[in-house]
Amino acid sequence: MAKNQQYCIPSHVAIIMDGNGRWAQKRAMPRFVGHRQGLAALKRIVRYASERGIETLTVYAFSTENWQRPQEEVNYLVNLIHETFSKEIGELHREGVRIVLVGDRSTLSSDILRVWDRAERITAENQGMTLNIAFNYGGRTEIVNAVKNIVTKALAGSISIDDINAELISEELYTSHSPDPDLLIRTGGEQRLSNFLLWQSAYTEIYVTTTLWPDFDEKDFDKALDSYSQRERRFGKVPAKELTK
Ligand code: FPP
């Protein structure tokens, strides 16, 4: 980094935690072992991100498409996520982490929703890092729901067509309580968004690493932050220094 360049910490980091299955396959182990190690990596990174002063961390835990995986894997993942909440909620709460489910609640069973409601209720007033967990999440469904809500309001006369703008759409997304992500990290090497935060990522800096998620550690997180700090974010404009020429 140039001497006088300020080190810039992103306020909101989003992560696509990919590569659990490959991590297990490389070791001739069943995929669920990869998910269990993936959870250990997530715990590490939640703690570290909070220490580094990240205000919001959004992680892709389970997509609307993941229900199509073999039933055994789906059951394992859903149980893993819920057991974790039952066990870890106390510690996350002590660390001041606020947990928010970002995803489609309308298709979740009441048993599953109860776990999320409890986690959200207990941590609602916490002032530390916000941990958004994308569960039963799909970016297109999120946008479709937002459009439906807006049209319902327009038909009811509580808003007019002219009130519809980008801010209003953002307010109808599952992530309405959070700013857009500054940095999106994808592990496992694939270079795509996979239906994650489609609207919110319009100007997000993307960092892809071939490291598989279970191996992702504090050093890897720092590398992503270093890379972010060297980016020049222009939001479609020309660099400020060009304007003074
Ligand atoms: C993608 O790897 C990973 C997932 C579908 C699940 C991620 C979930 C966790 C890390 C556990 C989360 C736990 C909590 C409490 C939120 P993949 O299976 O697609 O890997 P592959 O691309 O190598 O097959």
State which ligand 1 atom lies nearest to the alpha carbon of 19.
23
Q: What gap in Å lies between CA 201 and CA 226, rounded to an integer?
A: 19
| 6 CA from centroid of ligand 1 (Å) | 34
**Which one-letter amino acid corresponds to residue 180?**
D
The pLDDT of residue 183:
98
pLDDT single digits (tens) 130-149? 999 999 999 999 999 999 99
Low-confidence residues in the chain, pLDDT < 50: 1-4
Which of the listed residues 16, 20, 78 should we mutate to test ligand 1's pocket, taking the one with most ligand atoms within 8 A of CB?
A: 20
pLDDT score for 238: 77
In this structure, which topology does domain 12-231 adopt according to CATH?
Undecaprenyl pyrophosphate synthetase (3.40.1180)
Ligand 1 pocket, mutate which of 23, 35, 97 (most atoms under 8 A from CB): 35
Based on the residue annotation, tell me whether 66 is a catalytic residue of this protein.
Answer: yes
Angstrom CA distances, 83 to 76, 115, 137, 138, stand at 10, 9, 19, 23
**Domain map (residue ranges) of the chain:** 12-231
| Nearest by Cα to 96 from 117, 120, 125, 118 | 125
Q: How far is CA 141 from CA 150, 180, 191, 196, 238, in A?
A: 14, 18, 21, 11, 34
How does pLDDT run across 82-122, given as a tens digit for each residue?
A: 888 888 899 999 999 999 999 999 999 998 899 999 999 99
